[in-house]
């Protein structure tokens, strides 16, 4: 079973953050609770931006642990956490990158997913991204779904099904074009992401 139940937005953020840091900062993965809190509250490459506290993270990890979606790794000083999604969702490098972006940034087009995945996996073409999405959408427990193309939009967007079927709020955001970002905003967020990674590394060094 890929999902024992529909997950809430904080659970999705925690899983997305663990997936992302596994791929982008592997030297610091698995993550401590403090590092995971920083990753979840990161303001770049996140939609929506969240303001969680440590109790939110620990309670969420407990729930996900009960479902065997995350697992603690005991360290010399503090426990660290890793996800169990590679096995549960049968993810390879490409599908892991796609699911990471959908969990952290919401509905996106194949072109947006390709452009934003470079630090996690290099897709040779948008068609390759579409193949991965089609695979994730198959089976008795699909993880993603293609949303109807909205008026005035050149491409349809894909979203994850981890929280259940797309809500009216998600569909409204897609229709208004408020999900994700592009152009200058993407470049600014890339710089903010670099700063966030440096802060995480410093936090790990000081314990």
Q: Where are the alpha helices (DSSP H) in 67-182?
A: 85-88, 93-105, 110-116, 126-136, 168-176
The predicted-structure confidence for 7-39, as pLDDT tens digits, reads as follows 999 999 999 999 999 999 999 999 999 999 999
* Cβ-Cβ contacts under 8 Å for 13 (sequence gap 6 or more): 40, 46, 50, 52, 103, 104
Q: Domains in the chain, start-ordered, CATH in brackets?
A: 9-87+187-206 (1.10.10.10), 94-181 (1.10.10.10)
pLDDT, residue 152, reads 75
The predicted-structure confidence for 94-129, as pLDDT tens digits, reads as follows 999 999 999 999 999 999 999 999 999 999 999 999
Kindly report the pTM of this predicted structure: 0.85
- If residue 75 lies in a helix (H) or strand (E), which one and from where to where? none
pLDDT, residue 52, reads 98
């Amino acid at each position: 079973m890929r999902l024992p139940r529909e997950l809430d937005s904080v659970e999705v953020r925690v899983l997305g953050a663990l997936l992302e840091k596994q791929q982008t900062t592997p030297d610091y993965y698995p993550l401590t609770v403090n590092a995971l809190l920083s990753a979840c509250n990161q303001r770049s490459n996140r939609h929506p931006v969240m303001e969680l506290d440590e109790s939110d993270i620990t309670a969420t990890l407990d729930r996900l642990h009960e479902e065997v979606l995350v697992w603690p790794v005991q360290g010399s000083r503090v426990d660290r956490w890793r996800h169990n999604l590679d096995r549960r969702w049968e993810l390879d490098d490409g599908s892991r990158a796609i699911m990471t972006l959908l969990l952290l940034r919401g509905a996106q087009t194949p072109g947006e997913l390709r452009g934003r995945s470079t630090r996690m996996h290099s897709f040779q073409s948008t068609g390759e991204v579409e193949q991965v999405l089609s695979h994730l959408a198959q089976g008795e427990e699909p993880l993603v779904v293609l949303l109807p193309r909205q008026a005035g939009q050149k491409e349809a967007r894909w979203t994850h099904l981890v929280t259940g079927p797309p809500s009216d709020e998600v569909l409204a955001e897609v229709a208004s074009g408020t999900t994700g970002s592009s152009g200058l905003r993407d470049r600014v967020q890339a710089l903010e992401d670099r700063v966030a990674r440096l802060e995480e590394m410093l936090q790990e060094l000081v314990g």
